[in-house]
Amino acid sequence: MYYNKGMFQLHNDTSKPVPFRYSLRSRLLLLLVVMLLPLILFSVYQAYLSYEQLTKQILSDNARDAKEVGNNVDELIQSTADLLVAISSSQPAQEQDFGELKQWFGTVAKKYPYYKNIIYVDLDGNIRAAAYTYTKKDGKILANVSNTAYYKRSLSADGLAYGDFMLGVLSNQPVIHITYPVKKDGEKIAFVSVAFDLARLQERIVTSNITEGSEISVFDQNGTVIARTLDPSQWVGKCFKTSDIFASAAGGKKNLTAPGPDGIVRLMTFQGTDMTPWVVTVCYEEAAIRKLATNNLLNELMLFVPLLFVALIGWLWIGRDVDTRYKEARRLSLTDPKTGLGSFLKFNHDLEQDMARAKHHMQSMALLVLGVQGLREMKKGVAYEYGNELLIGIADIIRNNLSDTDFAYRFDSDEISVLLTSTDEFDAYEFAQHVADDIEKSDLLKKHDWNEQLDIAIGIAVYPLDASTADCIVQCATEALHDAKASETTKIFAYSQTQRPQKVKESAG
C-alpha cells in the first residue's frame, strides 16, 4: 500500500491459527471431479484400445493398398512387355529391316505418347532404328547408348531389363528404359528399348483404389522415387538408397514405423512387384491415427454428456448463491459504500496500471489528493452526520468533473484522490481549480452549525515530473496537500511548487 500503510492492516487478537477449510464452491467442484474421474479414465483406456485397433487396421489397409498398386504397376509394365516381345519376334527385327522398324516405332510412339521413344540397339550400343532421333549441341545425332545403365543390363538379361531413373534426352521428363532382347536362332543380336514416361506410372497409382489419407511411393532398384501420390514434383527423382526406409524395403521387411525424409512419422508397408525390381511403399501418418483415436475418445465422452450436464446444473444451482456473495464482496472491496467512489484497494491497483500505461506511451499523468481542513474535527464532534454528507457532496462534484478515462477514489476517511490520465501539471491544476470553484459555489462548506471554518485543500503530483514510481507520486501528492492545508492563501498546491530542498527519493515506499 502507498499511504499510511498501517491504517489498513488487520490485527488478530489470538495466536491460534485459523484452520484451513475448503470453500463450498471448491467442495462441489471436488465432488464433481470424483464423480467424473472414473468415467474419464475409462474413456482414455478405450481411446488407447482404439489406437491399437486403428493401427492394426491401417497396417492391414496398407498391405491391401500396396498389393493393389503393385498389381496396377504390373499390368502397366505387362502391356509394355507385350509390345517389346512383339517387336523382338517380328520379321523386321529378326531381319534387321531398320527402315521398316523406324516407321513402325514412329506409329506406335504417336499412338502411345507415354512411350517417349522406341529404339533398336545392336550389341555395340549403336541405335539402328528409333521413333525419334536426338541431335546433340554439336549437330551430331545421338547414335550410341553403350554408356547407359539399361544397355549394360540388357546385355546380361535374357528377358526384361530396367534402366535407372533419368531425364529423357528428348522430352527432358522423368523416364525409365525397359528393354527386351532380340534373338535369332537362339543368339542375341540386339535389343529393343522403350523410354517409359513415369508420368504414366504416376497417373496409374494416383487413380488406384486406395485408402483415404494413404500416401503411395514407388522406389526403383536404386532407391530412387519414381512415382508418388503426394507432392510428386518435390520427391520424384530423389534417391534414398542409404535410408533406413529403403533398406527395410529392400531387405524384405513388411512394416516399419519411422520418420520419413520430411520428419513426419508414418506407418509404412512395403510390397514388391512381380514384373519389376521396384518396391511399392504405402504410408499413413501416425498423427492421423492419433487424431482418429482422439475423435473416438470424444465420441465416448459424448455418451457421458447428459450426466455431466446434470452434474453441472446441480453445481451451478447450488453454487449460484456462492457466486452472488463472492461478487458482492468483491464489489464492496472495490467500491466505497458511502461515496460510491473507488475503494483504496482499487486506487492502488489503478495507480499501478495508469503509471505503467503512461510510461509505455511516454505520457504524463497526475494524482490529486483533496482534503477538507477541519472535517476530521467535525466528525469527531456532534456534526458527524453532516461530515459524511459533506464528503458525499464533494464526491458527487468531483464525479461530475471527471472524463471517461479519469477516476476518483476514497483515499482516506476524510480525503479523496483523483487519477487523471494523459494530464500534465497545468491541466491538473486547472481541473483542481474547477473542482474547488464548484465546491465553493455549492455552499457545502457553509451548510452546518459547526463553529470552525472548513476549507478545501488539494495537493497535486505529476508523473514523470515529480515522481516515477507509485509510492513516490503518492508521497509527493500527500506532501503537496499538507502544504495546501498549511497555506493561508493558496489552497491548491502542485508538488513542484512546494519549494522543498529536494524531491522525494524514488526508493520511498
Structure confidence at residue 18 (pLDDT): 37
Give the span between the Cα atoms of 122 and 145, in whole angstroms. 10
What are the E-state strand segments in 413-454? 415-421
**Model's pTM, two decimal places?**
0.51
| Cell (9 digits) for 474 | 503518492
Cβ(161)–Cβ(133) below 8 Å: no
Q: What does the chain come to in residues? A: 509
Cα gap 108→97, rounded to integer Å: 17
Q: Which parts of 351-465 are beta strand (E)? A: 365-373, 407-412, 415-421, 455-463
What residues contact residue 121 under an 8 Å CB cut-off, 6+ apart? Answer: 127, 128, 145, 151, 154, 190, 191, 192, 193
Q: What pLDDT was estimated at residue 118?
A: 93
pLDDT of residue 384: 66
The tally of CA atoms less than 13 A away on the side-chain side of residue 339 is 28
Cα–Cα distance for residue pair 167/151, rounded to 1 Å: 16
Backbone angles phi, psi at 271, to 5 degrees: -150, 120
Separation of alpha carbons 390 and 58, rounded Å: 81
Report how far residue 296's alpha carbon sits from residue 290's, in angstroms, rounded to the nearest whole number.
Answer: 10
Place of cell 503512461: 358
| Among 214, 207, 245, 221, CA closest to 75 | 207
The CA distance from 493 to 498, in Å, is 7
Distance CA 102, CA 129 (A): 5
- Map residue 307 onto helix, strand or coil: helix
Which pLDDT does position 385 carry in this prediction? 72
Q: Tell me if 400 sits within 8 A of 331, measured CB to CB.
A: no
Q: Mind listing the domains of the chain with CATH numbers?
A: 205-286 (3.30.450.20), 344-497 (3.30.70.270)
Strand partners, 256: 268
CA 292 to CA 298: how far, in whole Å? 10
Predicted pLDDT of residue 321: 64
Q: What is the pLDDT of residue 136?
A: 65
pLDDT of 25 reads: 61
pLDDT at position 307 is 67
Helices marked H in 286-383: 286-302, 305-334, 344-360, 375-380
**Judging by beta carbons within 10 Å of its beta carbon (0-12, 13-18, 19+), is residue 449 exposed, middle or buried?**
exposed
Q: Are residues 334 and 416 in contact, defined by beta-carbon separation less than 8 angstroms? A: no
Please report, in tens digits, the pLDDT of each residue of the chain (509 residues total): 333 333 333 333 333 343 445 555 666 677 767 767 776 777 677 767 777 888 888 888 888 888 888 888 888 889 999 999 999 999 999 999 999 999 999 999 999 999 999 999 999 999 999 988 877 666 667 788 888 888 999 998 889 999 888 887 767 788 899 999 999 988 999 999 999 988 888 888 888 887 788 888 898 888 888 888 888 888 888 888 888 888 887 777 888 888 877 788 888 888 888 888 998 888 888 888 888 877 877 776 676 677 667 767 766 666 666 666 656 666 666 788 888 898 888 899 899 999 999 999 999 999 999 998 877 776 665 556 777 888 889 999 999 999 988 999 988 878 999 999 999 999 999 999 999 999 888 877 776 665 567 788 999 999 999 998 999 999 999 999 999 988 878 889 999 876 553 444 343 44
| Beta-sheet strands, E only, within 390-442 | 407-412, 415-421
Q: Tell me what pLDDT residue 293 has.
A: 77
